[in-house]
Amino acid sequence: MIKLESSQPIGIFDSGIGGLTVAKTVIERLPHENVIYFGDTAHFPYGDKSKSAIQECTQHVVDKLLDHDCKVILIACNSASAAAYDFLKQRINDRAYLINIIDPILQSIAQTHAHKKIGLIGTRQTIGSNVYGQKLRALNSDIQLQSLATPLLVSAIETMLHNKKVIHEIIKEYFSNAILSDIDALILGCTHYPAIEKNIIEFYEGQTEIINPSHAAAAQIKQLLEENNLLNSAGHGLQHIYVSDYTDSFAQSVKLFFDKEIAVEY
């Protein structure tokens, strides 16, 4: 590992606005870090792409974040975490720490949700890869995982977040599926989904625990920085947002997550 400095930023990326939910959580947990976000909007969404296509897209994003001297890079996308984490880890080598959005939450629930029936929603790529089930088995977890691909949710959140009627109907259609009945908790297996967390809680009438993986990822980043003496005490949160293709809708969506004005750079 090359020598890293505490003043170097944390890089976070996703294919669209979804990863901003993760960035917000990381900043709340680590308010004195400098954070750079990259939305690979030219290749949105990752969830419907092949494994090789996701690897090709994400390697360019990671190279850009390395050019900005990021000390930690968080893959704030379940589809990319499932398809490209090992590939990107080899590419980065020892230039920065790499964290995916999946491992931290699975390590957490394996300890806290033993003998539970857990639902999982995600993109076709995430659910089809069965990465959650494989990793839970590797952790010797006896959690019963019930998985359902919910691909329409991502597009709805990106384009119709303000249209409550459309969001409600899509949630009703997916969550009425028997796969997601009688579950003790639900993992939001896509970083877009926390944007409609309140709607999901409302559907379950507050009777089902909703698990947002971004909290576990933020906790792991904090632990990693503490252990390696890389905590920054003089940073100022989100510094830059970069996109691979500028759209007004993305720029407008940024305002939903952060109170301050942040320029979106192309």
Q: CA-CA distance, 96 to 55, in Å (whole number)?
A: 18
The DSSP symbol for 10 reads: E
User: Which is the catalytic residue, given 27, 72, 77, 98?
Assistant: 77
Single-letter amino acid, residue 153 = L
User: Which is the catalytic residue, given 4, 27, 72, 190?
Assistant: 190
Joined together, the tokens standing for residue 76 give 């704030």
Our answer to whether residue 77 is catalytic in this structure is: yes
- Can you give 206-261 as a three-state secondary structure string? CCCEEECHHHHHHHHHHHHHHHCCCCCCCCCEEEEEEECCCCHHHHHHHHHHCCCC
Q: CA-CA distance, 120 to 127, in Å (whole number)?
A: 8
| Cβ within 8 Å of residue 124, ≥6 positions away | 47, 48, 149, 151
Neighbour tally for 164: CB within 10 Å: 11
Q: CA-CA distance, 194 to 184, in Å (whole number)?
A: 18
Our answer to whether residue 190 is catalytic in this structure is: yes
Q: Measuring CA to CA, which residue among 9, 4, 155, 12 is closest to residue 74?
A: 12
68-107 in b/e form (b: 16+ CB < 10 A) is bebbbbbbbbbbbbbbbbebbeebbeebbbbbbbbbbbbb
Active site (catalytic) residues: 77, 190
